[in-house]
Structure 1
């Protein structure tokens, strides 16, 4: 059994993570209320090394992130490098992009692309996760979007 970790999901404080200064102050406050870990999500532009320094300065670890799908497709080597820098083993996509929510064929296309991203992340020693919402349980023909994802995503995608 793996150890559990309680972390603050930074998307919930996204209005306070738009600048490096705001991120630093928000992380300080997160640590002050007792959190030891965070899920990085919805940050404004900030240098990855600065993020690492802010985490270290506050005694925080990044246990998982939410990364936009376009960034995963277009900038995966940088995403991998950031996660290695942060000692963060888990990469998650925050949602299936709307262009794939068109039915079974769109979901299959998303799964194929997500599998390639997941393979590359696994090759780098990282885990790829999917954050679901209620729309995945909508009907898609005689099944649900979630059922299609379950049958199409490889084991290194969760």
Structure 2
């Protein structure tokens, strides 16, 4: 069986990268990672897309390290120059761009975002890149009896908008990740994988009293504790089953490891996850 390539979401080492961007990339490469996904979340502040390196400079440095960019998370902002984002990633040699989440007041919000996703995905496709939506748990909230995820999938073009499925966050919504992977089928292009602590309670965050009504970022991210996130292979998620299903679907291009938060140092955490994932793939 040919295993799907493993990558790292660099949000996992954001504090280290803020101190030493290129040095942290070298340390990631030294661990053994060959594929990475950037996290350009600062665009949500005012819509400015500023990296600090030209695409050619960053690409050259990464090539010297043996690193390849898979995709980047680029946060939504109404003033974001999407054409600039696409040009940068095309020059960087990226395989695509990911919208790393959105927060919804009602069904109309979801329908409006679906229109934006279609338009943005069409622009990416014109440049030979894929475009993805990445879920957290709140997209499984229902509006008028239909989950946000289903609204987005139903109202976006499968040829322009794919899904980067975060199995951890789906599980925190009370969703069976493997069953949902089947439901996504060939719309599942990328997989985000982390692990859930056995002590996390409740697993389904919708059971919490404060998780109702409009789920703002403050509500969503106040529901989880650092100790709920553990390194790959040390928690309760059925990662072997998820890997098996990803292989079966044949649409998954990369499995990207991510550690939203950790009780360890960032680089120690991503090293442990990488080593444990390599053992699972043997």
The TM-score, its normalising length taken from structure 2, stands at 0.50
| Displacement after TM superposition at 1:82 (Å) | 1.5
- Report the equivalent of 2:57: 50
- 2:100 pairs with 1:94: yes
- Once the two structures are superposed, the pairs formed by residues 1-158 of structure 1 within 5 Å of their partners are 4-18=4-18, 22-42=20-40, 45-47=51-53, 48-70=55-77, 74-96=80-102, 98=103, 101-155=104-158, 156-158=160-162
Q: 2:60 and 2:139 mapped to 1: Cα distance?
A: 37
Q: Cα 1:45–1:91, aligned 2, differ >3 Å: closer, same or farther?
A: closer
Q: 1:64 and 1:74 mapped to 2: Cα distance?
A: 18
Query: Root-mean-square deviation (CA), in Å?
Result: 2.0
Structure of higher RCO (CA pairs closer than 8 Å, 6+ residues apart):
2
Q: 1:3 and 1:65 mapped to 2: Cα distance?
A: 22
How many aligned residue pairs are there? Answer: 151
Q: Which runs of 5+ in 1 are unaligned?
A: none
CA contact (8 A) 1:67 1:91 kept: yes
| Displacement after TM superposition at 1:85 (Å) | 1.6
The TM-score, its normalising length taken from structure 1, stands at 0.87
Q: Is the partner of 1:70 in helix, strand or coil?
A: coil
Q: Is the partner of 1:64 in helix, strand or coil?
A: strand
1:90-127: CA deviations, max 9, x gaps?
1101111x3xx011111000101111111111111111
Q: Which runs of 5+ in 2 are unaligned?
A: 42-49, 163-282
Q: Is the partner of 2:18 in helix, strand or coil?
A: coil
Q: Cα 1:91–1:45, aligned 2, differ >3 Å: closer, same or farther?
A: closer
Q: Is the partner of 1:13 in helix, strand or coil?
A: helix
